[in-house]
A and B are shown apart, each in its own frame.
Chain A
Amino acid sequence: MSAIQTAGGDSRTRSYGSKAGLGPPRRRVPRVAGWLGAAPLLVFTAVVFGLVLGTMMVGAFTTPESAPGGARLTGANMSASLHGPYLTALIGSVKLSAVSALIATVVGLPIAHVVVTSRFRALREAVLAASGVLANFGGVPLAFAFVATLGNAGVLTSQFHLLSHGWNLYSFWGLTLVYLYFLIPLMVLTLTPALEGLRRQWREAARNNRANTFRYWTHVALPILMPSLLGGYVLLFGTAFSAYATAAAMVGSSVPLVTMQIADALSGNVLVGQGNVALALGVDMVLVAGLIVAIQLPLQRRSARWLA
């Protein structure tokens, strides 16, 4: 038996194979088939993902081969990615993501609350289904819908002469308004299970202890919802931070964003030889995204406690 398992050859297989005797006996399920079934997925991700991430890491910490002296180990790319226009873009991205995620959280909570406590089942299901669609409705179509609505030649802009009132869609706040279109539905989807976990009895108990609505929310509901709110906020931040298509289709480069800087550096719109700085910026983004996941996972686990 163990000979068959080690025949897989890869070290993981062997370490599991040695413990196989501890597992419950399984009838008629050949164990080798199990390893083979998972192998294509593991090999695919290891090769493609490993190659891509590996090259990115190497490129971020070496000089380009076309440079005098060839490829050498350097920290210059990373430090360049944290200086000058790149730093401005990084800060711009963080600011946009932080602000739009905050607004979406503050606006999403009452919407989700109204939807969850609604007496009409149809309304709930319709809103949740629509949220599922809208949360994924990013990218180019979203940008064009807003350009047609509030752009310089947009329907609302020309009907209400918004331009003379200083309106500009192609700005920080314009982009925030557009981002909310997919961030708010995402927040509603994230908060719904947590809000469904709020028991009616808790509210009645608070009521019996003479707590008014305000005190109920500040002392009972919000503390319970806090992990979900924070987790949702972090998720929204990450979504806004890595968004590119919407901004690229809409504002061009009038709002500095790190995703746009990477795309520009890759397509050679700026100085030649900035490719490795783009890789360094990519590493910056992966670090931020990794941080976000590291914050979100424990919060998710904590908020799941109340849903049981």
Chain B
Amino acid sequence: MARLTTPRYGRAAVLLLTGAYFLVPLACAVAFSTGVGVPGQHIGFEAYTGIFTAGGFTDSLALTLKLATATIVLVLGLLVPALVTVRLAAPRLRTLVEIVCLLPLVVPAVALVAGFSAVLRWGSDHVAGTPLFQALVALQNPDFPLVLVLAYTLMALPLAYRTLDTGLAAIDLRMLVEAARACRAPWSRTLLHVVLPNLRGALLNTAFLTLALVLGEYTVAAILGYQPFAVWILAISGSQAQMSVAVSVMGLLVTWMLLLAVATAGRARRPKETS
């Protein structure tokens, strides 16, 4: 039979080179943070064990987690009702909702933050003394900057929309809702006990992707002058290079484990539901 695939050596070479390019930096990052491979460096795990006691670590991580929670709640709170009702009651709104959700793709994070800072600057010049000023102060509260939640929500919309929409397309929403309504379940109960449990996988995926986005976000927070996790890593890199690399490695591992957990949860659930 004629050979229909790439020569075997070619395939092996492609895979080998690709693997090397993607694994070497990770291995080197681990080697660098433990002192292996850097001449004149003491070998040990101090960079890792010292993370938790490093100044600013707990503050920045707590801020990031707070921001992530608020962003996830806001993204799901806005998208789930909109997508469910677009499918059930208002199919004509579908295009508008899609455009609105995908629009942030056209605005790079840097341009978005330029716009946000212009709004904040304009606000502080013009609304001083009015009730709006209080809102402006609350937006920029350094303990919990709501303005970041707004920016992150916009940035998360495109991915969240695609994930949730795929999840909704996979279930027969209309049938589920009509069955629940036929059993005289009120709307609140239908949503909470019928629709949302069937969307568990998509909701989890969306929450994870949003969490990953907020964990790694640097641009908006740095330019607006806040110090969540990613900004903190960069801030300590000058004095503690090893530790900043160690934190990066840890962050990557945590992100991968979260993704794996979501992937396996999605896979384990499927057979149960079809039975």
Chain B nearest CB from A33 CB (Å) reads 6
Residue of chain A at shortest CB distance from B221: A245
Given contacts A41-B79, A155-B31, contact A245 B6 (CB under 8 A): no
A contact residues around B33 at 8 Å (CB): 148
Given contacts A148-B29, A289-B108, contact A52 B116 (CB under 8 A): yes
Are the C-beta atoms of B24 and A149 separated by less than 8 Å? yes
Are the C-beta atoms of B111 and A262 separated by less than 8 Å? yes
Are the C-beta atoms of A45 and B32 separated by less than 8 Å? no
Is A59 in the interface zone, CB < 8 Å from B? Answer: yes
B contact residues around A304 at 8 Å (CB): none
A contact residues around B79 at 8 Å (CB): 41
Are the C-beta atoms of A34 and B90 separated by less than 8 Å? yes
Chain B CB within 10 A, most for which of A34, A40, A53, A286: A34
Are the C-beta atoms of B259 and A133 separated by less than 8 Å? yes
Give the total of A residues in contact with B, Cβ under 8 Å: 89
Chain B nearest CB from A148 CB (Å) reads 4
B contact residues around A146 at 8 Å (CB): 25
The complex places the Cα of A123 from the Cα of B237 at a distance, in Å, of 36
The complex places the Cα of A130 from the Cα of B177 at a distance, in Å, of 37
Residue of chain A at shortest CB distance from B84: A37
B contact residues around A140 at 8 Å (CB): 216, 218, 230, 233-234, 248
Residue of chain B at shortest CB distance from A111: B18
The complex places the Cα of A285 from the Cα of B114 at a distance, in Å, of 11
Are the C-beta atoms of B115 and A204 separated by less than 8 Å? no
The complex places the Cα of A78 from the Cα of B85 at a distance, in Å, of 42
Are the C-beta atoms of A141 and B216 separated by less than 8 Å? yes
Is A300 in the interface zone, CB < 8 Å from B? Answer: no
The secondary-structure label for the interface of chain B is: helix
Is B61 in the interface zone, CB < 8 Å from A? Answer: no
Partner of A141, one of B5, B105, B241, B248: B248
The secondary-structure label for the interface of chain A is: helix
Q: Mark B244-273, 1 if CB is under 8 A from A, else 0.
A: 110011011001100100010000000000
Are the C-beta atoms of B259 and A56 separated by less than 8 Å? no
Give the total of B residues in contact with A, Cβ under 8 Å: 90
The complex places the Cα of A139 from the Cα of B248 at a distance, in Å, of 10
Are the C-beta atoms of A55 and B234 separated by less than 8 Å? no
Is A207 in the interface zone, CB < 8 Å from B? Answer: yes
Are the C-beta atoms of A249 and B234 separated by less than 8 Å? yes
Are the C-beta atoms of A158 and B109 separated by less than 8 Å? no
Partner of B26, one of A42, A145, A147, A159: A145
The complex places the Cα of A257 from the Cα of B130 at a distance, in Å, of 40
Is A79 in the interface zone, CB < 8 Å from B? Answer: no
Given contacts A40-B82, A45-B100, A56-B114, contact A114 B248 (CB under 8 A): no
Q: In residues 148-189 of chain B, which contact A (Cβ within 8 Å)?
A: 150, 153-154, 157, 177-178, 181-182, 187
Are the C-beta atoms of A30 and B109 separated by less than 8 Å? no
The complex places the Cα of A141 from the Cα of B230 at a distance, in Å, of 8
Q: Which of B49-57, B63-71, B91-99 contacts A (4 or more CB under 8 A)?
A: B91-99
Partner of A40, one of B21, B29, B81: B81
Partner of B241, one of A12, A118, A153: A153
Residue of chain B at shortest CB distance from A52: B115
A contact residues around B119 at 8 Å (CB): 51-52, 55
The complex places the Cα of A52 from the Cα of B31 at a distance, in Å, of 44
Are the C-beta atoms of A48 and B154 separated by less than 8 Å? yes
Chain B nearest CB from A50 CB (Å) reads 10
The complex places the Cα of A147 from the Cα of B29 at a distance, in Å, of 8
Residue of chain B at shortest CB distance from A291: B106
25 A–B contact pairs at CB < 8 A?
A29-B177, A31-B89, A33-B85, A35-B93, A40-B77, A40-B78, A41-B79, A44-B153, A48-B153, A49-B154, A52-B115, A55-B119, A65-B125, A139-B216, A140-B216, A150-B25, A155-B31, A204-B4, A207-B2, A241-B108, A248-B234, A263-B219, A267-B225, A286-B106, A286-B111
Ordered nearest first, which 7 A-B pairs have the shortest CB separation? A34-B89, A37-B85, A242-B108, A148-B32, A52-B115, A141-B248, A149-B28
Q: Which residues of B contact A (CB under 8 A)?
A: 2, 4-6, 11, 14-15, 18, 21-22, 24-26, 28-29, 31-33, 37-39, 77-79, 81-82, 84-86, 88-90, 92-93, 96-97, 100-101, 103-119, 121-122, 125, 150, 153-154, 157, 177-178, 181-182, 187, 212, 216-219, 222-223, 225, 230, 233-234, 237, 241, 244-245, 248-249, 251-252, 255-256, 259, 263
Given A117-B5, A289-B105, 17 more contacts at CB 8 Å?
Answer: A28-B182, A34-B93, A37-B89, A44-B78, A49-B103, A51-B119, A56-B111, A114-B11, A133-B259, A144-B29, A145-B28, A145-B245, A181-B22, A203-B4, A248-B234, A281-B111, A286-B108
